[in-house]
């Protein structure tokens, strides 16, 4: 009995020592994607006609969301939450970049993206590409989207993945946040990323 107790105590001490030796990291509220082998590149044109990539935002925490401007609920709610996050972080909000990638390049012109995103936060960047470029970007991020026919050819909607990807200041994807979580989990996770050395 004594031998088993000593063995158990030794194992617990060893476990405690191992835990202290490793880096302490708080858990994200969203899904931790640290080390993911996807969502590594994004090369599209912004609402001002400039070619953009994730490297352009180095030094900032970046929130990437795939959607479309005529979306009735998920997209405007998500962009409003990202704008709320920036405000809630005060001066640190300047270190957060919202990026909206359209899955509807047929209707989402550069001018429309600029007006749409400006209504949430003028610093937000809208990205668009050809149908082929859009498919490639969605594939890189493992994002689903599909056109759903409407009553007229122009009244279609788009089914799409409803989640945000958060990148750290080094441009690495770190967190996946499902739609409906609200602004607070985004705030908490972005604070953790901003505090990283």
Answer yes or no: is 178 within a domain.
yes
pTM, full prediction: 0.86
Arithmetic mean of pLDDT, 1-27: 44
User: Rounded to whole angstroms, how far apart are CA atoms 142 and 64?
Assistant: 13
pLDDT tens digits for 140-180?
999 999 999 999 988 899 999 999 999 999 999 999 999 98
- Express each pLDDT in 99-141 by its tens digit: 999 999 999 999 999 999 999 999 999 999 999 999 999 999 9
**Residue 182 maps to which CATH number?**
3.40.30.10
- The answer to whether residue 62 sits within a structural domain is yes
Specify if 39 maps to a domain: yes
- Which residue range forms the structural domain that includes residue 178? 29-195
Per residue in 54-102, pLDDT (tens digit) is: 999 999 999 999 999 999 999 999 999 999 999 999 999 999 999 999 9
Q: Between 74-88 and 183-195, two packed helices, what is the crossing angle to 10 degrees? A: 50
Domain presence at residue 40: yes
Number of domains in the chain: 1
> In terms of DSSP bridges, do strands 157-160 and 61-67 run parallel, antiparallel, or are they unpaired?
unpaired
Tokens of 164: 């945000």
């Amino acid at each position: 009995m004594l031998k088993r107790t000593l063995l158990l105590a030794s194992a617990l001490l060893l476990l405690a020592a191992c835990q202290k030796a490793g880096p302490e990291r708080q858990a994200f509220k969203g899904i931790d994607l640290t080390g993911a082998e996807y969502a590594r590149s994004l090369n599209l044109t912004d609402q001002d006609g400039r070619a953009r990539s994730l490297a352009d935002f180095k030094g900032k925490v970046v929130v990437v969301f795939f959607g479309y401007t005529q979306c009735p609920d998920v997209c405007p709610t998500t962009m409003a939450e990202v704008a709320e996050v920036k405000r809630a972080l005060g001066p640190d909000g300047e270190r957060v970049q919202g990026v909206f990638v359209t899955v509807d390049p047929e209707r989402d012109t550069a001018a429309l993206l600029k007006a749409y995103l400006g209504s949430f936060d003028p610093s937000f960047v809208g990205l668009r590409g050809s149908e082929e470029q859009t498919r490639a970007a969605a594939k890189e991020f493992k994002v689903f989207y599909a056109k759903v026919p409407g009553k007229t050819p122009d009244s279609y909607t788009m089914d799409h993945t409803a989640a945000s990807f958060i990148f750290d200041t080094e441009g690495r994807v770190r967190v996946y946040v499902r739609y409906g979580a609200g602004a607070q989990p985004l705030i908490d996770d972005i604070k953790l990323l901003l505090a990283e050395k």
